Amino acid sequence: MSNYEDVAARLRAAYAGPALDPLRDVLDPTDADGAYAVQAINTGFWANQGRRIVGRKVGLTAKAVQAQLGVDQPDFGVLFDDMAIDNDGLLSPEQVLQPKAEAEVAIVLATDFDHPDATAADVAAATAHAIAAIEIVDSRIADWKISFADTVADNGSSAFFVLGETRKPLDGLDLYTCGMALEVNGQLASLGAGAACLGHPLEAAAWLARTLAAAGDPLRAGDIVLTGALGPMVALKPGDRVEAKIGGLGRVAFRYGN
C-alpha cells in the first residue's frame, strides 16, 4: 500500500472517530498534488461503494483563511448524494465529529461545462439557478489543527449540506452585495455578503470550473456547486437550530441533534 493509499484509508476510518493527528508524516502542509491524490483515492473508493457524485464544494475562499494556511488559492471537495440534508431536516451528532456551519450560495448547472479559461460570465451562462445553502463542515483532523494539505486530503473538510427550497435564476440577482445572516437558536451568529466569497460567488465557481477542466474532470449538467462561505463558520452543539437567510435567495435551515 502506498503512502497516499495509507493516508486515504486512515481518513476513511476516522469518520467513525477518533480524529487523526495532522498528516505531516506523509503530506507537507502545502502539498497540493499529494493532498488531491489522497482525495482522489477516496473519491474513487466511495464511488465504487455506490455513492453518487452530485457536485463539488469550494473552500478557502476568504483571503484571510488562505493566508492563515500559507496558500494563495482556494480548494475543492466532492459532494456525494448522501451528504444532502433536507431543508429543515435533522443532522445527528453521531454523523459528525466536530461540526461547523457556514452559509453559502449554491448554483446548479444547466449544461456540461468544460472551459479551461472559464470566467464568471461563462459560469452564469451555464447556470440553471442559484439556491441558499448551508454547508456543514467537519474535520477528521483533531481540534481542526489543519494545514492546506490536511483539509484537501480530507475532501475539503466536507460533511453535509442543506439546500433551500427557493430556486432563483441569476437574472436580477445581485450575488455581490447580497447580505447573509446566519442564526443559531434565533440569535445572530454570523454575518456576511457575496463579495466575501473570492470577490463574488461566481468567481469562486469559475475558479473551480477552470481547475476541474484542466484536470480532465469537468463539471456536468445538474452538478451542485457550493461556492464558499459568505461569513465566518459557526461551531455546533447538539440541540442547535441553524437558519441562514441570504438576500434574494430566501432561507435554509436544519437542526443538529434534538
pLDDT tens per residue across span 191-243: 999 999 999 999 999 999 999 999 999 999 999 999 999 999 999 999 999 99
pLDDT, average across residues 93-109: 97
Please say whether the beta carbons of 195 and 83 come within 8 A.
no
Distance CA 118, CA 185 (A): 40
Number of domains in the chain: 1
**Closest by Cα among 257, 43, 230, 8 to 135:** 230
pLDDT of residue 223: 98
pLDDT of residue 67: 76
Q: What is the pLDDT of residues 142-199, one digit of tens each?
A: 999 999 999 999 999 999 999 999 999 999 999 999 999 999 999 999 999 999 999 9
**pLDDT mean across residues, the chain:** 95
Quote the domain boundaries for residue 106.
Answer: 3-256
Distance CA 43, CA 14 (A): 15
Residue 90 CA: distances (Å) to CA of 86, 165, 169, 239, 257: 8, 16, 28, 10, 7
Residue 221 CA: distances (Å) to CA of 75, 100, 114, 253: 21, 29, 11, 26
pLDDT of residue 173: 96
**Closest by Cα among 156, 209, 216 to 32:** 156
| Per-residue pLDDT band at 1 (split at 50, 70, 90) | low
Q: Tell me, what CATH number does 45's domain have?
A: 3.90.850.10
pLDDT, average across residues 102-115: 95
Query: pTM here?
Result: 0.96
